[in-house]
Amino acid sequence: RPGFDNWRSQLDRRRACEETARRASAASQSPLTAIFKLRACTEVRAFCLYVTRPLPDGGTVHRRLIRST
């Protein structure tokens, strides 16, 4: 019977195209995700280093504020 399995081959072809598209989509998104995560970590690290840097007076004002409260 010619053409009997034609619908199966069309489904297989479509499924193969969907799998290829899914793999290509995942591959294209993963480097960007890694870049965004790296950039976010760098920004958080820079902020934490800026906030927790030592005070120029050696922390004496901060110690006085803690003792007075």
4/9 Cα distance (integer angstroms): 10
pLDDT band at 11; cut points 50, 70, 90: low
24/34 Cα distance (integer angstroms): 16
The residue to which tokens 């902020």 are assigned: 47
Full-model pTM: 0.34
Of all helices (H) and strands (E), which one includes residue 3? none
Compute the residue count for the chain. Answer: 69
23/61 Cα distance (integer angstroms): 58
Give 21-64 pLDDT, tens digit per residue: 666 655 555 677 778 888 888 888 888 777 766 666 666 665 66
